[in-house]
Amino acid sequence: MKAIGFKESLPIEETNSFIEFETETPTPKGYDLLVKVQANSVNPVDFKVRQNAAKDETLDEPKIIGWDAVGIVTSVGDKVSKFKVGDEVFYAGDITRSGSNAEYQLIDERIVGHKPKNLSIAEAVAIPLTGLTAYEALFDRIRVDPEKDKGKSVLILAGAGGVGSIAIQLAKKLGNLTVIATASREDTVEWCKDMGADFVINHHKDIKEELKKIGHSEVDYVLDFVDLQGYWETMTEIVKPQGHIVSITGSNESLDLNLLKNKSITFSWEFMFTRSMHQTDDMQRQHDILNHLSELLDDGTLKSTMTTQLDGFTVENLKEAHRIQESGKSIGKNVILF
């Protein structure tokens, strides 16, 4: 099968930042599905892994990355019970295994969902990684209850990004929350409003002052999708007593957890790969979430966040998708149709 990978961590402009090669098509065992990949999409994790996985060495074999795929099941392992050959599926994958930048991929059925029937392949592939991340942040980490928490406020930092775009929709449509998103450009502000944000404030200005302008000096929850370290003190100041902060971004320095104490603020990490990486007892939760997202997309509750479609599984298109992500100005999701 054809695959695209890298042996060295190089700037995306370099000729060998990605290389095309042939490799053996894998055989499924156990809970694995063998999927013929029809499309994938690129997330920040892609370029971060590309930039760091082979920084100090040249790999013997090319590393295949890529998280997000839509495809068709072509064969199954002996423990598979949720899917059959011919099923259309979508998933975000497992960071410890070979990725979706290949014609075929092995994937554990417990982290795979049925592709939304009413969406095109390109529209559907924009959803899995960001959808799982946003869903887990809201409903597994904060544990938002749509009835009990109706009307509570959530601040979403970086609302126009891939995760922010679907988080706005989930928080509004599924969580019944008042959604405040951050954006700074005219196009990103409009995008956040289109996704369903009740308010959009400028993260290049003082967040506390921006919130006061819209009558929200404090918020119940904060979802950090951009810069935990940079916003840490601000987040602890604007979260209400017994509120909740969730971050996906990490920090290069120690954070002062004492800032959470007086208001009994809860802080949670959200890492979409935790369940597959550690083979947790509730690993199937991602199968269930993806199927729920599929239903919500099919009935129109949610809409795809795809903004850019690149046609053809080529080194050039993969490089272009990485360039877009690395620019820091990407809106929604960028997909590659095989």
3-class secondary-structure state, position 128: helix
Judged by DSSP in three states, 22 sits in: strand
Name the residue with tokens 């996704």: 195
pTM: 0.96
In degrees, rounded to 5, the angle at the alpha carbon of residue 83 between the alpha carbons of residues 79 and 89 is: 130
Question: Treating both helix axes as pointing N-terminal to C-terminal, what angle do 186-195 and 162-169 enclose, rounded to 10 degrees?
Answer: 40
Question: Looking at residue 250, what is its pLDDT?
Answer: 86
| Residue showing tokens 């690149």 | 310
CA 291, chain centre distance (Å):
16
DSSP secondary structure letter of residue 95 = T
Question: For the chain, which ranges sit under pLDDT 50?
Answer: none
Mean pLDDT of all residues belonging to the chain: 97
Beta strands, E only, the chain: 2-5, 19-22, 32-42, 69-76, 88-91, 104-108, 112-114, 153-157, 178-182, 199-201, 219-224, 239-247, 266-269, 306-311, 333-337
d(CA 26, CA 70): 18
How far is Cα 293 from Cα 66, in angstroms, rounded to an integer?
Answer: 21
User: Rounded to whole angstroms, how far apart are CA atoms 42 and 122?
Assistant: 12
